[in-house]
Amino acid sequence: MTMIRFVLGDQLSRNLSSLSDLAEGDIVLMAEVDDEATYVRHHQRKIAFLFAAMRHFAAELEADGVHVDYLRLDGKRKAASFGEALGDAIARHKASRVVVTEPGEWRVLEMMKGWEAAFGVPVEIRPDDRFLCSHEAFEAFAGDRSSLLMEAFYRGMRERTGYLMGANGKPEGGRWNFDAENRKPLPKRIIVPRRPHFEPDETTQGVLALVARRFGNHFGSLADFDYPVTRSEAKRYLAWFADKALPDFGAYEDAMRQGEPLLFHSHLSALINCGLLDPRECCEAAEAAYRAGTVPLNAAEGFIRQIIGWREFVRGVYWREMPGYGARNALEAARPLPDFFWTADTDMNCLKQSIGETAANAYAHHIQRLMVIGNFCLLAGLDPVEVQEWYLVVYHDAYEWVEMPNVVGMILYADDGVFATKPYAASGNYINKMSNYCGHCRYDVKQRIGEDACPFNYLYWDFIARHRERFEDNPRMSRTVYTLGHMDEAKVEAMRGDAARFLDALQPYRGD
């Protein structure tokens, strides 16, 4: 009786539920499949990272005596899809049973549900217990609430996990959330710590060559690839972060500096999302540093909140709202994605920097994603489906379960407030406060009208004017709507005219 345990590319964990009772004679199936690399045209660096991590994980299993059936995209045996890979493996090994761990994406789960009928063998789909909140626990939290608040969810997760909780059952420092202390602009004197370098070994170099050949026309660059691709490298990166960057992460987590894409951010999200790091060990490392007195509470709390708060929360929202969540468009946005999202060829320096760094690194930190790129998408009324695809393509930590709620709910307010209490819209003043981008820009962030005015300024007020009726009763937007109503009408018309001219001049993306 041969059992196949099918492990996907974002399930590179020895504590995976489908491997929990791995026995002698079982076969672990892993496959690089063309469909998963091309259903959207993923960033070259993202494909290379995952294929390299998969090959190293397979090699580590084999070194421990596990029988691994690994299909390489450039190998003699290959498959175009997960289903083809599994069907061929069942026939080849005469397997009588398949065990898998639940995938992160709805479309893949729908595939899995059809495998038992398609291949004529039992297929057991186990929960992904690497997450700290099960679907059932999230549903119990959500209940019949008309809107979901991450802060309420986060407090429950703190109590459940015990992270940063005092002996009296109260949160450390007497507060659940220190976000108010984590919004400081970056002083010029602050020196950004130097990151460790992870030299590509022979396996990774082979993957880089493969991706250059097969996917060289995809977005982004493979130049200077040095990201961790093994469990040991990932653990070393986590230790470095806790020691060198986490102490200043909290205070400056919202800051941006030209030429410094990483600052004090962990850069661990791709490692967590593919399984090389466990979210629990990341939280434990941050808490241990706080307990040891080397990291301030606001930094440890802010980092832990990103994992057990936001990460777990958006995953819960995704599964609760699917299918159909990605089609929501409450603000009726329909403008095509501009061409500069793929080229970074724009005079708006904040966007030029954020998109350019995304192309180079398959990464941008959360404020660049939300308050620069995402803010523009919101104010310009870009099509939510096109925006979702862009975010899924360009970031190496992007999977639909995490990308879709962030774009649909947080960035675009396209779900009409399932969990965001207001749209995250801002003028150029916010970007100027939190970065040095504006000092290098051809536009004047202090001007609202005219050819030299920062486009974010007139786009912001045009957005408020377009959606005035929708937001005038929103407690967090009513003051802004009130301000608009008391502006000089001629000034408002001038800003709206500038917005119309700017948006009409945008060149839509036409493809290759």
> In this predicted structure, what is the pLDDT of residue 145?
84
Picking from 441, 417, 329, the residue whose alpha carbon sits closest to that of residue 146 is: 417
* Three-state secondary structure call for residue 70: strand
What Cα–Cα distance (Å) separates residue 436 from each residue in 185, 232, 259, 265, 282?
Answer: 9, 36, 10, 18, 31
- pLDDT tens string 377-399: 999 999 999 999 999 999 999 99
Picking from 378, 277, 85, the residue whose alpha carbon sits closest to that of residue 285 is: 277
CATH of 340-504, one of 3.40.50.300, 1.10.579.10, 2.80.10.50, 1.10.3720.10: 1.10.579.10
- Residue 480 in tokens: 């802004």
- pLDDT tens string 222-235: 999 999 999 999 99
> In this predicted structure, what is the pLDDT of residue 60?
98
> In this predicted structure, what is the pLDDT of residue 512?
60
Residue 230 C-alpha from the chain's centroid: 20
> In this predicted structure, what is the pLDDT of residue 348?
98
Picking from 95, 81, 96, the residue whose alpha carbon sits closest to that of residue 31 is: 81
- Given a cut of 90, whether residue 511 has pLDDT beyond it is no
Distance, in Å, from the CA atom of 321 to the CA atom of 71, rounded to the nearest integer, reads 34
Would you kindly state where each structural domain of the chain is located, as residue ranges? 2-126, 135-197+227-321, 340-504
CATH of 2-126, one of 3.30.413.10, 3.40.50.720, 1.10.150.20, 3.40.50.620: 3.40.50.620
> In this predicted structure, what is the pLDDT of residue 366?
96
Contact between 32 and 210 under an 8 Å Cβ cutoff? The reply is no
For 37-141, strand residue ranges (E) read 67-71, 95-101, 123-126
> In this predicted structure, what is the pLDDT of residue 256?
98
- Residue 61 in tokens: 């299993």
- Residue 390 in tokens: 């862009």
User: Residues 486, 487, 493, 499: what is their CA dihedral angle, to the nearest 10 degrees?
Assistant: -110
> In this predicted structure, what is the pLDDT of residue 59?
98
Calculate what percentage of the chain has a pLDDT beyond 90. Answer: 97
Calculate helix-pair angle for 455-466, 478-485, nearest 10 degrees. Answer: 100
- Given a cut of 70, whether residue 50 has pLDDT beyond it is yes
Q: What is the mean pLDDT of the chain?
A: 96
164: left (phi over 0), alpha (psi -120 to 50) or beta: left
> In this predicted structure, what is the pLDDT of residue 79?
92
- Given a cut of 80, whether residue 510 has pLDDT beyond it is no
CATH of 135-197+227-321, one of 3.40.50.720, 3.40.190.80, 1.25.40.80, 1.10.3720.10: 1.25.40.80
147 — pLDDT class (breaks 50, 70, 90): confident
Give me the mean pLDDT over the 170-187 stretch.
94
- pLDDT tens string 397-455: 999 999 999 999 999 999 999 999 999 999 999 999 999 999 999 999 999 999 999 99
